[in-house]
Amino acid sequence: MPASYENLLYDLDATSGILTITINRPSKLNALNAATIDEIAAAMQQALDEPTVRGIIVTGSGEKAFVAGADIAELAALTPAQAARAAERGQEAFCRIEESTKPVVAAVNGFALGGGCELAMACHMRVAADNARFGQPEVNLGLLPGYGGTQRLPQLIGKGKAIELLLTADQVKADEALRLGLVNHVVPQAELLPFCHQLLSKILGKAPLAVGMVLDCVNAHYVKDANGYAIEVKAFGQAFASDDFKEGTQAFIEKRAAVFRGK
């Protein structure tokens, strides 16, 4: 049965194995409060624990906003110590997305500002509707990104441009986000979710173990003191022991489509 969350919609397509997690606070433009952050972490853990979930789409309710930022009224009431803990919780939730061995695509429909931009960047890939807007406006409030934005934005678009956007709080339109490498694709609003389903379906036709290993190895490059090359070598050897490798090579020899079982 689908899970029930107060601030999220958790919708699993049993046929494709694609789960759609929708931030569902439309009256607040899907702004992230503490409860929503906790629910994102819980929903991601549930998705990772459910074998029937094979790929994940993260999006926002409505057409105006993916996530328009954090809940500023809630943040303003925090003490410095409470704010630091809130940032830790946000980072923990978003790292759960980034470290997922199941592919996660952000379907960015409208504003992705502050925590919304950080949420999108935590996903493995980003597809933007043509009305999407990205930005980290925290310096306008005397703040800075707290959910990983200062770390992930430079990884995606380079240090110099990332610093410019972080310090000016400028917003980036969808076409500019594509040029910068912040998003993978830009599509019309009406085509956003179908395109994300198509992209994930293509990936889900590949060997599940290999897909997960690729995600682990790519992430290892950004982990301090981790040797991504060594992790890749180990994963490469492990892949040779899998049934998926045997099936993939046999299917290639026999000139047929492979049927992977994730073993």
CB 193 within 8 A of CB 56: no
Angle between helices 243-254 and 228-240 (to 10 degrees): 70
Q: Which DSSP state fits 14?
A: T
Active-site residue identified among 88, 92, 98, 138 = 138
Burial class of residue 165 in the structure, from the number of CB atoms within 10 Å of its CB (0-12 exposed, 13-18 middle, 19+ buried): buried
DSSP H or E stretch at residue 212: helix 208-220
Amino acid letter for position 111? F
| Cα 202 from Cα 208, distance rounded (Å) | 12
| Cα 67 from Cα 140, distance rounded (Å) | 18
Active-site residue identified among 50, 118, 164, 232 = 118
Q: Could you confirm whether 247 is annotated as catalytic?
A: no
**Phi (first) and psi of residue 11, to 5 degrees:** -125, 110
Q: Could you confirm whether 138 is annotated as catalytic?
A: yes
- Measure Cα distances from 63 to 4, 30, 58, 127, 248 in Å: 23, 11, 14, 14, 41
Structure tokens at 191: 């085509």
Nearest CA among 116, 150, 122 for reference residue 135: 116
**Paired sense of beta strands 55-60 and 104-108, if any:** parallel
* Secondary structure class of 184 (helix, strand, coil): coil
Q: So which residues are the catalytic ones?
A: 118, 138
